[in-house]
Structure 1
């Protein structure tokens, strides 16, 4: 009889070598997946830093000039239901009205160059009327307005009107995923 068949020892060696090959492939693909996640995290962190630093600089340069919104002149700093609107001197165009709006998927940012014109109460509509509207989206990010109770404790505010002073101890919390940055409002 000249039949060829696997012996038990040959079968065990084949299974062992197959398992070893699968482990090597798993390690190689696992490293590629980890490297990809680190790259995505780095990109995410870079966007977080750029957006939060831009907001910090805008807040440092809050402009207390009168703005005519819906026929009511006054200084502009407004927070309500996830919408932050204020006038800043930071930027290449001079006085700029900036708007940050929390949405389900992230943070919408819009800006409107302010030249003293009378504006409607819906500032997002004013931006949309522009030939090249400055509206941007930061996925996964959001903001909150906080008031410091003491050094370690903050209370989230649902609304605020008027430019905060340094004594008010008001902060913007800019967060994205596991990252968070507290920016004091002290113009």
Structure 2
């Protein structure tokens, strides 16, 4: 939540003095620069390290994309925008699994989220609407039976299954979908 407050202080007139606003902006740009360095060290050009794949990695990547987008807005530097595009491309299928983690988007979209309402593979339930984001790869918290069966058999970015029974890998949550909406709207503008 701290990043959201910093974004507000850096981008909205709040009555802070110029030095405080400059400090908030420098903090965001510094974080964005760290994410760029991480992106440049990863084979799939995403602001996420191999050891970071934990529960909700898709949301984590999008939260970092938000910081990169704000850095672009503050500086006008194209490299930050390019990193946002790369993160989005990763979520839409440019990844080791060739899998979109967003229902209804990409060549191979997620279809069987762990969700109480969208579970057609369990019976007479509706399919997920386009735009639902899976939590994504998770190599740390292998809590459910599907994930436990994968433990030790997958590289961190490949620890994912499009399985309704896998809440540790394929859960849909509002806190992951909110940054997806923010980043998609930012890219659309």
TM-score by length of 2: 0.28
- By percentage of residues, which structure has more helix? 2
- By percentage of residues, which structure has more strand? 1
Larger RCO: Structure 1 or Structure 2 (Cα < 8 Å, ≥ 6 residues apart)? Answer: 2
TM-score by length of 1: 0.28
